[in-house]
């Protein structure tokens, strides 16, 4: 059994920053040389730490966002308030300065998004690992925590030396114990990166409130886009509780093959289009931007932005539709007048002589949308002619059948109920000495560096708080177990 004052389970963004926060706080506490038992220890189950950071920002790692709290908090869901103390404790500026002092050059790009200047996520991971080492903390990889035993409350409250320890059993047989345990095991998204929801399952078993989780920043799947889910929506909604394709209602696995409609659309990016979303007929979102049709469904910056609302509504059994406006800069009347003019020109053009209606309509479409979109557009809007085209261009309606799940979503929404945590320390209200930080919490952000900042800032605060408790509780007696 190995004893440490502070153990951190999970060496992702939050866990590495928790180790840095704890290690630096202990180093600067004036306690002199830190004994081995007081060195914060990170247990990471993967062969290397920060595996998910490596895939962030398409390998470029958008590590924070430079907005002030008011602007930043608008991008944090479902309730940003519990994040406030952590944000002010480690602001985007302070985080960037810390990384800079450790040798990482950074740049701020469009939308206040910060990246390593090299645009290499690996440089962020290397810098964090170096910072952990320099803080005096330690990382042990290949250590998967499979069981955690909570000390009984009375011994913790009595501050009983030698008792009141969390005990952690690892899959390789090694056992650890600690007085302060920080759980930073992440959410459920991209399980191949190591995030398999272990901490959430453990919290539930120990009576800690966990809000239902669901995938967010994910592809939403139009009805009929995937071959295996081409049945109609009423049939889909009639399936109560679980969907036929996954545990969550509406989950459509990314690997489900595309239908003919999906194949006609996949690979197309639409720039500066309007997108609104209706839930049971009421508009819940309306904005302009870019969308991508992919092998998953509808995504891209604007698609991701609406995904949280769409997934939530589908889980609640509501009917969700996306409405694409391919011509947001002009009114329907202006567009109708333009189409009438174009149609007349095409009909009067000598090159149209002998051409069938469909061929002339194809020429009209080519003047109004990218060539590669015409097949997919017609697939979705069968029966459209030059008289009804303006309406379809302004309101291309797609019923949404479901969404891609944890296998490929960017973030897990839901998690440890933030009311179970003290926001000023990240300590669990119910179990003293236990802290949670990062994606495991019921805090999720939009794309733009918000999620990594949530992980870094809550991790840093948890680490500092655990160190403060160690410093206050005892002057580093080396405890041999
Ligand atoms: C494709 C993709 C791109 C993204 N891009 C961005 C971006 O550019 N900007 C941004 O802000 N956010 C981005 N995110 C989100 C961001 O990566 C996460 O929000 C963030 O990494 C969460 O950090 P975390 O430390 O809480 O969890 P994680 O990074 O998931 O780390 C959890 C760690 O715990 C370990 N672990 C789990 N269980 C155990 C166990 N039982 N024992 C030991 N170790 C365990 C895991 O192996 C993992 O290393 C992206 C996410 C994805 C999937």
Q: Is 185 in the pocket of ligand 1 (CB under 6 A)?
A: yes
Confidence of residue 32 (pLDDT cuts 50, 70, 90): confident
User: From the alpha carbon of 49, which atom of ligand 1 is closest?
Assistant: 49
Residues 6+ apart with CB under 8 A from 58: none
CA atoms within 13 A on the CB side of 282: 4
Q: Is 114 in the pocket of ligand 1 (CB under 6 A)?
A: no
Confidence of residue 163 (pLDDT cuts 50, 70, 90): low
Q: Is 15 in the pocket of ligand 1 (CB under 6 A)?
A: yes
Q: Is 46 in the pocket of ligand 1 (CB under 6 A)?
A: yes
What does the pLDDT read at residue 30?
78
Pairing of strands 166-170, 175-183: antiparallel
Nearest CA to ligand 1 atom 47: 194
For 59-176, where are the alpha helices, taking DSSP H only?
Answer: 69-73, 84-89, 92-101, 121-135, 153-157
What does the pLDDT read at residue 458?
98
Confidence of residue 153 (pLDDT cuts 50, 70, 90): low
- pLDDT averaged over every residue in the chain: 92
What domains, with CATH codes, occur in the chain?
A: 2-214+410-473 (3.50.50.60), 219-408 (no CATH)
Mean pLDDT within 212-216: 97
Q: Is 278 in the pocket of ligand 1 (CB under 6 A)?
A: no
The pLDDT tens digits of the residues spanning 370-403 come to 999 999 999 999 999 999 999 999 999 999 999 9
The pLDDT tens digits of the residues spanning 35-79 come to 899 999 999 999 999 999 999 999 999 999 999 999 999 999 999
User: From the alpha carbon of 193, which atom of ligand 1 is closest?
Assistant: 47
Distance 174 CA to ligand 1 centre (A): 24
Confidence of residue 34 (pLDDT cuts 50, 70, 90): confident
For 218-330, where are the alpha helices, taking DSSP H only?
Answer: 233-238, 260-265, 300-315
The pLDDT tens digits of the residues spanning 271-284 come to 999 999 999 999 99
Q: What angle do CA 92, 95, 97 make, to 5 degrees?
A: 105
Which of 474, 476, 481 is CA-nearest to residue 33?
476
Distance 219 CA to ligand 1 centre (A): 19
Q: Is 195 in the pocket of ligand 1 (CB under 6 A)?
A: yes
**HEC assignment per residue over 270-295:** EEEEEEEEEECCEEEEEEEEEEEECC
Mean pLDDT within 261-278: 97
pLDDT at 244 over 60: no
Q: Is 411 in the pocket of ligand 1 (CB under 6 A)?
A: yes
The pLDDT tens digits of the residues spanning 96-135 come to 999 999 999 999 999 999 999 999 999 999 999 999 999 9
Which of 80, 38, 42, 37 is CA-nearest to residue 183?
42
Nearest CA to ligand 1 atom 14: 56
Q: Which residue out of 7, 8, 9, 10 has the highest number of ligand 1 atoms within 8 Å of its CB and is therefore the one to mutate?
A: 10
Which of 225, 200, 227 is CA-nearest to residue 403?
225
Q: What angle do CA 24, 29, 34 make, to 5 degrees?
A: 75
Q: Which residue out of 113, 176, 410 has the highest number of ligand 1 atoms within 8 Å of its CB and is therefore the one to mutate?
A: 410
Confidence of residue 237 (pLDDT cuts 50, 70, 90): very low
What does the pLDDT read at residue 151?
81
User: From the alpha carbon of 146, which atom of ligand 1 is closest?
Assistant: 41
pLDDT at 28 over 50: yes
pLDDT at 430 over 80: yes
- Percent of all residues in the chain with a pLDDT value above 70, rounded to a whole number: 92
In this structure, the dihedral spanned by the alpha carbons of residues 11, 16, 17 and 18, taken in order and rounded to 10 degrees, is 70
User: From the alpha carbon of 452, which atom of ligand 1 is closest?
Assistant: 11
pLDDT at 194 over 50: yes
Q: Is 45 in the pocket of ligand 1 (CB under 6 A)?
A: yes
CA–CA gap between residue 101 and residue 98 (Å, rounded): 5
Are 63 and 452 spatial neighbours (Cβ–Cβ below 8 Å)?
A: yes
Q: Is 144 in the pocket of ligand 1 (CB under 6 A)?
A: yes
Q: Is 169 in the pocket of ligand 1 (CB under 6 A)?
A: no
- Model-level pTM? 0.92
Q: Is 11 in the pocket of ligand 1 (CB under 6 A)?
A: yes
Distance 108 CA to ligand 1 centre (A): 22
Mean pLDDT within 424-446: 97
Mean pLDDT within 293-315: 96
Q: Which residue out of 54, 121, 186 has the highest number of ligand 1 atoms within 8 Å of its CB and is therefore the one to mutate?
A: 186
Q: Is 198 in the pocket of ligand 1 (CB under 6 A)?
A: yes
Are 329 and 335 spatial neighbours (Cβ–Cβ below 8 Å)?
A: no
Structure tokens at 417: 């109920």
- Tell the burial category of 226 from Cβ atoms under 10 Å away from its Cβ (0-12, 13-18, 19+): buried
User: From the alpha carbon of 46, which atom of ligand 1 is closest?
Assistant: 47
Distance 186 CA to ligand 1 centre (A): 5
What does the pLDDT read at residue 475?
61
- Percent of all residues in the chain with a pLDDT value above 90, rounded to a whole number: 87
């Amino acid at each position: 059994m190995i004893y440490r004052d502070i153990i951190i389970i999970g060496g992702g963004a939050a866990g590495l920053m928790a180790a840095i926060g704890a290690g630096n706080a202990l180093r600067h506490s004036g306690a002199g040389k830190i004994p081995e038992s007081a060195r914060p220890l990170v247990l990471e189950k993967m062969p290397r730490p920060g595996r998910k950071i490596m895939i962030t920002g398409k390998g470029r790692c958008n590590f924070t966002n430079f907005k002030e709290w008011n602007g930043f908090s608008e991008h944090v869901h479902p309730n940003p308030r519990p994040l406030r103390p952590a944000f002010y404790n480690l602001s985007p500026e302070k985080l960037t300065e810390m990384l800079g002092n450790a040798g990482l050059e950074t740049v701020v790009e469009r939308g206040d998004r910060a990246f390593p200047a090299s645009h290499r996520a690996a440089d962020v991971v290397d810098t964090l690992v170096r910072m952990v080492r320099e803080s005096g903390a330690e990382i042990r990889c290949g250590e998967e925590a499979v069981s955690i035993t909570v000390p009984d409350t009375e011994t913790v409250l009595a501050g009983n030396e030698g008792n009141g320890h969390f005990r952690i059993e690892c899959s390789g047989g090694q056992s650890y114990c600690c007085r302060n345990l920080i759980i930073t095991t992440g959410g459920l998204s991209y399980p191949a990166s190591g995030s398999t929801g272990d901490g959430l399952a453990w919290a539930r078993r120990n009576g800690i409130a966990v809000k239902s989780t669901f995938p967010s920043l994910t592809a939403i799947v139009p009805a009929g886009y995937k071959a295996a889910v081409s049945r109609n929506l009423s049939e889909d909604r009639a399936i109560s509780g679980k969907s036929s394709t996954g545990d969550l209602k509406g989950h459509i696995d990314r690997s489900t093959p595309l239908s003919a409609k999906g194949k006609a659309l996949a690979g197309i990016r639409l720039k500066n289009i309007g997108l609104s979303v209706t839930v049971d007929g009421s508009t819940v979102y309306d904005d302009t931007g870019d969308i991508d049709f992919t092998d998953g469904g509808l995504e891209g910056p604007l698609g991701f932005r609406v995904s949280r609302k769409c997934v939530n509504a589908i889980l609640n059994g509501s009917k969700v539709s996306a409405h694409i406006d391919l011509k947001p800069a002009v009114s329907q009347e202006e567009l109708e007048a333009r189409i009438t003019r174009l149609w007349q020109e095409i009909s009067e053009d000598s090159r149209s002589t002998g051409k069938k209606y469909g061929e002339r309509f194809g020429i009209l479409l080519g003047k109004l949308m990218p060539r590669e979109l015409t097949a997919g557009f017609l697939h979705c809007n069968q029966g459209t002619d030059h008289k009804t085209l303006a309406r379809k261009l302004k309101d291309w309606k797609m019923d949404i059948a479901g969404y891609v799940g944890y296998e490929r979503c960017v973030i897990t929404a839901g998690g440890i109920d933030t009311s179970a945590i003290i926001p000023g320390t990240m300590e669990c209200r119910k179990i003293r000495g236990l802290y949670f930080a990062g994606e495991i919490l019921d805090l999720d952000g939009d794309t733009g560096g918000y999620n990594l900042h949530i992980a870094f800032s809550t991790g840093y605060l948890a680490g500092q708080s655990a160190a403060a408790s160690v410093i206050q509780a005892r002057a580093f007696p080396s405890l041999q177990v």
